[in-house]
Amino acid sequence: QVSWKLADHPTLPKGKTLALIVLDGWGEYKPDEYNCIHVAQTPTMDSLKQGAPEKWRLIRAHGKAVGLPTEDDMGNSEVGHNALGAGRIFAQGAKLVDIALASGKIYEGEGFKYISECFEKGTLHLIGLLSDGGVHSRLDQLQLLLKGASERGAKRIRVHILTDGRDVLDGSSVAFVETLESDLAKLRENGVDARIASGGGRMYVTMDRYENDWDVVKRGWDAQVRGEAPHKFANAVEAVKKLRENANDQYLPPFVIVDENEKAVGPIEDGDAVVTFNFRADRMVMLAKALEHQDFDKFDRVKVPKIHYAGMLQYDGELKLPGHYLVSPPEIDRTSGEYLVHNGVRTFACSETVKFGHVTFFWNGNRSGYFNPEMEEYAEIPSDVGITFNVQPKMKALEIGEKARDAILSRKFDQVRVNIPNGDMVGHTGDIQATVVACKAADEAVKMIIDAIEQVGGIYVVTADHGNAEDMVKRNKSGQPLYDKSGKLQILTSHTCQPVPIAIGGPGLAAGVRFRNDVPDGGLANVAATVMNLHGYVAPNDYEPTLIEVVNN
Ligand code: 3PG
Ligand code: CO
């Protein structure tokens, strides 16, 4: 039985409107020409940094601070928002899958038993992101699963690949496909009929999120399930090399691998097993719905094979989606949002579609929906569809700012929480000029929200979920930009391992509130207790410590 009542903070008052602003992909890094935040005009964020030193600091947003396996793991939005919302550090999907594979427990679970029922007569299909980015999936986990499944009776295996170029360098897809092909060749030597069956770039095929554009999932479905695609190739390395002539890894068009009779080698059929091997939820939920829901109506599936489907993880605990999974997800319970709602804090959360689930679903511990609809309102601003965001780098920052401003001025909410996506979404395109425009737009949205907070005498907390726009090039150990063999600068489309800023302020911030200096390693998970304090409460004992203290002078 959870006791939801939070203790009153000894000195800090309740009832101040608090704006909680998460800049997506906004880290702190040395100022040079590849630091788009530095290059951009960001007067609002600059003034927070240059203001009172006890009201601005850096916090950790990558590696173990957010529950990832190693300090080399860059941060990402899922683990970042999980930590921000939950106030504690949970071992995340990446790590849980590592542990389950290393111990072999993955093969003893219900999920693996369920799919292995099809091994005798059917094909095992593995669908997921092919890279070592470690954000949604990892190649080494796929390799272990291929080996483990074939040793446990899978005789026919088809891999449906999604090329990355977003969490890893663009162009790296070729080497990942070559590696996978050589692994599959070894399986074939051992009598397993194992092949790549289809593919496509993650942003164009399958991996949409938050129901932004179902066509993305449909393109994948047609290739993976029906064996239909505009491009047909005899082998996947050739496919990726050829299609890269007109698109980057993120946006490769769908293709299927065909035999000498031009027949697709691996459509999904009745009696087959399917595993989506991404551990991260957001970009697998839509496919999981298409694979699992009887009454699915988002696009015409044409063919709905009777399969045994399991996710690497269960992607949505509330929806129990999918019903079967290989590894149990982190149990992120008692999140700050749930506590605050129980204690009467009325909450408004907002972003545009591509990040909407970040400030709701991820924030609430990978849980869909409201805790209490009477206390909460979540507003989604439709994202532009069918474009890459370097074309529209301002995205919906202004609209998010306006929505938040109106929510603050309405005085109907105690917490107004937003995610401002620009630094991240445009940073992922690798377009430096556009990312500079993106950072400026994000800064303007922050100003709009802070101005509203000034008007109502409230408090603001501005932070970020992980780095991205502050460094747009791959670098050597001493920080020098790296060039490829042809002398071209290696653009970094991915997130970074940099820390992120956090700033507090506003007329409602009680006198004497400042950042403590005894939590030097503070990270995103320390923000929840901090915010609870600013709402006038003490955080539960097992939350990571607050970043603030109140000094009387
Ligand atoms: C994506 O899914 O867009 C990237 O892999 C990670 O970005 P995010 O963690 O910022 O969403
Ligand atoms: Co990102």
Interface ipTM: 0.99
Structure token pair of residue 533: 């304090």
Please report the atom of ligand 1 found closest to the CA of residue 25: 10
In the structure, what pLDDT confidence band is assigned to residue 504 with cuts at 50, 70 and 90? very high
Which three-class secondary structure state does DSSP give residue 461? strand
Quick one: average pLDDT of 261-285? 98
Which three-class secondary structure state does DSSP give residue 285? helix
**Alpha carbon of 251 to ligand 2 centroid (Å):** 16
What domains appear along the chain, each with residue ranges and CATH number? Answer: 21-90+332-550 (3.40.720.10), 94-327 (3.40.1450.10)
Q: Express each pLDDT in 91-127 by its tens digit.
A: 999 999 999 999 999 999 999 999 999 999 999 999 9
**Alpha carbon of 53 to ligand 1 centroid (Å):** 31
Give me the pLDDT at residue 553, please: 64
Q: What is the DSSP secondary-structure string of 502-537?
A: EEEE-TTSPTTEEE-SS-TT-BGGGHHHHHHHHTTB
Q: Is 116 a catalytic residue?
A: no
Question: Using an 8 Å Cβ cutoff, are 354 and 210 in contact?
Answer: yes
Q: Express each pLDDT in 164-202 by its tens digit.
A: 999 999 999 999 999 999 999 999 999 999 999 999 999
Integer angstrom CA distances of residue 399 from 383, 422, 448? 11, 12, 10
Quick one: average pLDDT of 143-152? 98
Binding residue numbers for substrate: 136, 166-167, 202, 209, 280-283, 355
> How many C-alpha atoms does 506 have within 13 Å on its Cβ side?
27
Mean pLDDT (the chain) is 98
Q: Is the dihedral of CA 304, 141, 500, 547 positive or negative?
A: positive
Which three-class secondary structure state does DSSP give residue 31? coil
Please state, for a pLDDT cut of 70, what percent of the chain lies above it. 100
Q: Express each pLDDT in 447-468 by its tens digit.
A: 999 999 999 999 999 999 999 9
Q: Express each pLDDT in 308-358 by its tens digit.
A: 999 999 999 999 999 999 999 999 999 999 999 999 999 999 999 999 999
526: pLDDT strictly greater than 90: yes
User: In sequence order, what E strands does 297-420 have?
Assistant: 308-313, 325-327, 347-352, 376-381, 415-420
- Residue the block writes with tokens 């403590």: 516
Catalytic residue, chosen from 3, 77, 103, 116, is: 77
282: pLDDT strictly greater than 80: yes
Dist. CA 410–CA 404, nearest whole Å: 10
Going by alpha carbons, the residue nearest to atom 8 of ligand 1 is 77
Binding residue numbers: 24, 77, 136, 166-167, 202, 209, 280-283, 355, 424, 428, 465-466, 495
Q: Which ligand is nearest to the CA of 73?
A: 1
Going by alpha carbons, the residue nearest to atom 11 of ligand 1 is 77
Q: What is the DSSP secondary-structure string of 86-110?
A: HSS----HHHHHHHHHHHSGGGTSH
Q: Provide the whole-model pTM.
A: 0.96
- Using a 6 Å CB cutoff, which residues line ligand 1? 24-25, 76-78, 135-136, 166-167, 283, 424, 428
**Alpha carbon of 81 to ligand 2 centroid (Å):** 12
Question: Between β-strands 124-130 and 156-163, what pairing exists: parallel, antiparallel or unpaired?
Answer: parallel
Give me the pLDDT at residue 552, please: 85
Question: Using an 8 Å Cβ cutoff, are 210 and 425 in contact?
Answer: no
Please report the atom of ligand 1 found closest to the CA of residue 136: 5
**Alpha carbon of 427 to ligand 1 centroid (Å):** 11
Structure token pair of residue 291: 């694979």
